[in-house]
Chain A
Amino acid sequence: MSLLKLENVHSYYGRIHALKGISLEVNEGEIVTLIGANGAGKSTTLRTISGILHPREGRILLNGQDISHMEPHKIVYAGVGHVPEGRGIFPKLTVRENLEMGAFTINDRAEIERRMEYAFSLFPRLKERINQKGGTLSGGEQQMLATARGLMLKPKILMLDEPSMGLAPRLVELIFDIIKQMNQEGTTILLVEQNALMALSIAHRGYVLQTGQIVLSDTADNLKANPMVQHAYLGIE
């Protein structure tokens, strides 16, 4: 059985019909990526899964349980982590406090410290900034913080929204390495990326979104080889 399953999901922003019947599946242990142009509905899909938006039609199943109308915090408790677009760190909380927020659902202090150490081992730079306010970090550091905060939860499935946005190439590689490592340690990943090539290079499977609909789904390798994908998203003529 798939870990996460969307069945014919329709979402709206006000009167704007943003998702027009999205169906997709993420199996345990996979990295699945959503690619598509700006405004195709990638972020909306993630926001709908994590309960910030509720679908007006269709169902979202986590381990077979319907979470379509759960409040967002309950969805987090159910095991869905979401690193939102634009990083969404808390600018006036320190790095440490931001990470503690990531582990809000956990009450065991020792466990929180363990996870924080693990996060710091992946992003040593953050440890140097531990008492600095989130808003004073550089863009790259903020992205690291957002990703590290996503790790603190140890979710069953982690959804990452544009983790490479605005980052130097070296940092992009670092972040993608960490995503891969997390996956190997057992976290299922749902990845939204502008940088389709990069995303497809670590993903197992992918979905292509266009104006709120899924137009293509295949294994990552097949998608990379697909002429339409190459033309539209990989910049290969």
Chain B
Amino acid sequence: MLAFSLVSGFALSAFVIVLAFLFQNTAVGASVMQRFGVSLVNYTLLNLPQVLMDGLTLGFVYAAIALGYTMVYGVLEFINFAHSEIFAIGAFVGVEVLIALAAYGLIGGQNSLLSAYLWLLVALLAGMLVAGTMAVLVERIAYRPLRGAPRLVPLISAIGVSFFLQDAIRLIESVTTGQFHRIIPAFGNFDNRIPLFTVAGNTVDIQIKSLIVIVAAIIMLVGLNYLVNATKVGKAIRAVAQDRATASLMGIDVNRIISMTFLIGGTLGGAAGVLYALKFTRIDPFVGFFPGLKAFTAAVLGGIGNLTGALLGGIVLGLLETFAGTYMSIFTMGVAGAEYKDIFAFGILILVLIFRPQGLMGENVAQKA
């Protein structure tokens, strides 16, 4: 896993360095020299470590969301389109808890750092709890009655749930707070940067909150891996995923296990939502759409149904997106820049589905058997 992210990071770095050498003596190089006063190669090299760090952080956010898609897909072969809104619910619950805590003076100001981390954990757990519960409810109400129907029927219902939840969040926020854009309150030292190392006089650093995102995502993945591989529930989940009818003949309550799957996926999605809010500070009811789609792309890229694949896909996508966002504008001289990073993810999704629908690590599921 670590090796793989290193490899993809190196490959992308090598790619941009080669590009930099190739374009050094062209108009591209000249424009960089003019704007930044350094050669294209130097500019590229100087930016690289920070880009890698940012890409990795983004990748872990995608990975955390992708786990939810991949869990549900593994068990039901169903794209839980509403997972992005479960994510958004997590973000809103976390942010509202923190706003309430700030209003009571429990975080921010003179309060100790320890309490800041503690309260962040509380917000995280609250987000997880509500998001997990919502995921179970959604399955119970909108998916379970449709089990056994043609594949597109539950997908359409899921799209309906996704839209419904977006506006439901908006409605609830509007009624209770009069607005639906929320900003996480400033507290703790999460915005501070920890210097990591110095390259040619340039310090590469990482924001504490990025570090929190990475650590939390790794804990989530390790925990989930343990849960799925070593516990009785986990084995039952895998059994249900492989053969539902036979699993029921083992005495496994298939409905309960499917609920469990949504609970786990929703909980992880909720956690990802709170982490996202911490990292990017602003949220609105539609905040789940793009991260959700990208996380789904990551899941497909890694091989949907495969937990490690979700992580790898997330990291690769996060790196690619950050690389594209940083360097595309440089190499195209401002013609196409970061504004195309969303398109970029879709391009990857389409390419992966066409050329390697089983993903990097998965078995072939994308094409009709």
Contact = CB atoms under 8 A, between A and B. Distances in A.
A105 B251 contact: yes
A90 B251 contact: no
Interface stretch (B240-248, B284-292, B312-320): B240-248
Nearest to A159: B249
B253 A73 contact: yes
Contacts of A82: 249
Contact of B243 (A71, A90, A100, A104): A90
Interface in B316-364: none
B136 interface: no
Contacts of B243: 88, 90
Interface in B242-282: 242-243, 245-255
A28 interface: no
B239 interface: yes
Interface in B104-130: none
B238 A90 contact: yes
B245 A102 contact: no
B235 interface: yes
B236 interface: yes
Given A92-B238, A93-B238, A97-B235, A52 B251 contact: no
A71 B249 CA distance: 10
A88 B253 contact: no
A104 B250 contact: yes
A165 to B, nearest CB: 16
Contacts of A105: 250-251
Q: What DSSP secondary structure best describes chain A's contact surface?
A: loop
Nearest to A134: B242
A71 B255 CA distance: 10
Given A93-B235, A93-B238, A104 B246 contact: no
B235 A84 contact: no
B238 A52 contact: no
Interface in B36-73: none
A77 interface: yes
B233 to A, nearest CB: 11
A92 B253 CA distance: 20
Contacts of B246: 84, 88-90
Nearest to B253: A73
Contact of A102 (B248, B250, B254, B255): B250
B236 A52 contact: no
Interface in A71-116: 71-73, 76-77, 81-82, 84, 88-93, 97, 100-102, 104-105
A52 B249 contact: yes
B254 A73 contact: yes
A144 interface: no
A68 interface: no
Interface of A: 50-52, 71-73, 76-77, 81-82, 84, 88-93, 97, 100-102, 104-105, 149, 153
Given A72-B254, A101-B250, 12 more contacts: A73-B254, A81-B249, A82-B249, A88-B246, A89-B246, A90-B242, A90-B246, A93-B235, A101-B252, A102-B250, A104-B232, A104-B251
16 contacts: A71-B248, A73-B250, A76-B248, A76-B250, A88-B249, A90-B239, A90-B242, A90-B247, A91-B242, A93-B238, A93-B242, A97-B238, A101-B235, A101-B236, A101-B239, A104-B236
